[in-house]
Amino acid sequence: MVDENQTEIHVGLEGVYIAESQISKVDGQAGKLYYRGYTIESLAQNSNFEEVSYLLLYGRLPKKQELQAFVNELRSYRNVPEELQNLIKGLLGKAHPTDIMRTAMSALAAFDGELDDSSPEANLRRSIRIIARTACIAATIGRFSHGKPYVKPDNNLDHASNFLYMLNGKRADPDIEKLMNLMFMLHAEHSSNASTFTTMVAASTLADIYSAVTAGVSALKGPLHGGADEAALKMLRAIGSPQNTEAYINDALENKQKIMGFGHRVYKTYDPRARILKAYLEKQVRANAPEDVKNLAQIALEAEKIMVERLGETKGIWPNVDFFAAPLYAWAEIPEDLFTPIFAASRSLGWCAHVLEYWQNNKLFRPLEKYTGKLDLPYIPIDKR
Ligand code: SDX
């Protein structure tokens, strides 16, 4: 047994390794991210979310026929069952879209069709269904939230383009479809982040994968994690103009407020995903966006410059994936309360990949707490307290 008085406490498990994995490597010092050994830059340049889904689930890039078979399976699961549509409708206006997403993801278990089969093959099929359906659920939540009717999936479209089609009821601009593919790829996986770790903890009890991903979306919602992009957009809107940026940031920092979209537990340099999104923002938004979005982009670039100067080298606080996602989603006309459901839809891939990998050598997560309270207190009857 461990001697509590000798042991070191790792609050928030900072710096603690909880498992070995071959899914992704996050190099916080070098600012590099690898999915199954491929740099995120090479995948962002050459791949798409469906191929990255195969890569993360199966551990290698697919051959042409393998990808076609996988894509056909993924696309075959897109339809949102009517009962789920009604569940979503019943929560509209009463719950944040992320809470509706969490509820709908939990309800997916009811449409599984093979719940008594917990074999690795069944759990892989389950994962593919979850990855396909969560994007369509997010689109349907967005659509219903704006009073529009359900749009059936178009299986001629890839994952990201179909998401936009089900959200908008029409094809999106090719540059926006390309951006959405990039967003789904960049948000898909990031080793043992808070939400992935949460899914692993739930899965380690041998709960089913629906329970695990529902726990994951619950953890993702927080503004310190997946809720940061929605918070970052609210901040950009509150700043209002590039000229106001420095005063806003100075005031926030003086009041010990966190600037959303900056800082990271692992990256102590620029988040490579933020670099990719910043380049996309500078290339696309400056050229093609409406004036209000161009203004948001300018504020974001000004805020980045100030934050990097003020807290980059000195405190290791740099832009993370959420910061530039905010103005880019605004350019794609994605409602801000849908940012986290989209993040959850993308990250359901990483959650499932880690659960499937961890189950290969499962060990219940049960850390210790150092008790610092009193012991052996005498029980005092209530009329004598
Ligand atoms: C994601 O883990 C992952 O991989 C996550 C993710 C993924 O893909 O899964 O990358 C996605 O969640 C990105 C992070 C999104 N969250 C935000 O942008 C919220 C703002 N960021 C911070 O809350 C913070 O940076 C965290 C939570 C991300 C990391 O915090 P840590 O590692 O627990 O560090 P900390 O909060 O203890 O901060 C250390 C110091 C503190 O100052 P001091 O008290 O030492 O003086 O840095 C300061 C903090 O105040 N600080 C910030 C800051 N982030 C940290 N100050 C101002 N603005 C910030 N954003």
Among the atoms of ligand 1, which is closest to the Cα of residue 26? Answer: 4
Mean pLDDT, residues 140-166 taken together: 98
pLDDT at 286: 72
pLDDT at 229: 93
**Active site members:** 225, 264, 322
pLDDT at 225: 96
φ, ψ of residue 67 to 5 degrees: the values are: -65, -40
Model confidence at 284: pLDDT above 90: no
Q: How confident is the model at residue 7 (pLDDT cuts 50, 70, 90)?
A: confident
Average pLDDT, the chain: 96
Model confidence at 310: pLDDT above 90: yes
Count the residues in the chain.
Answer: 385
pTM of the predicted model as reported, rounded to 2 decimal places: 0.97
Spell out the SS3 assignment of 290-324. Answer: CHHHHHHHHHHHHHHHHHHHHHHHHHCCCECHHHH
- Residues 80-99: tens digit of each pLDDT: 999 999 999 999 999 999 99
Among the atoms of ligand 1, which is closest to the Cα of residue 252? Answer: 57
Model confidence at 151: pLDDT above 70: yes
Model confidence at 161: pLDDT above 90: yes
CA of 11 to the centre of ligand 1 (A): 14
pLDDT at 295: 95
Model confidence at 194: pLDDT above 80: yes
Model confidence at 239: pLDDT above 90: yes
- The pick from 184, 224, 310 for probing ligand 1's pocket by mutation, whose C-beta has the most ligand atoms within 8 angstroms, reads 224
CA of 350 to the centre of ligand 1 (A): 21
pLDDT at 219: 98
CA of 263 to the centre of ligand 1 (A): 4
- Is 249 close to ligand 1, i.e. is its CB under 6 Å away? no
- Residues 116-150: tens digit of each pLDDT: 999 999 999 999 999 999 999 999 999 999 999 99
Query: Where are the alpha helices (H) located in the chain, listed in sequence order?
Result: 40-46, 49-58, 64-76, 82-91, 97-107, 120-145, 159-168, 174-186, 194-204, 209-220, 228-239, 245-254, 272-280, 286-288, 291-307, 313-315, 321-331, 339-359
| CA separation, residue 244 to residues 23, 278, 299 (Å) | 42, 21, 8
Nearest residue (by CA) to ligand 1, atom 57, is 258
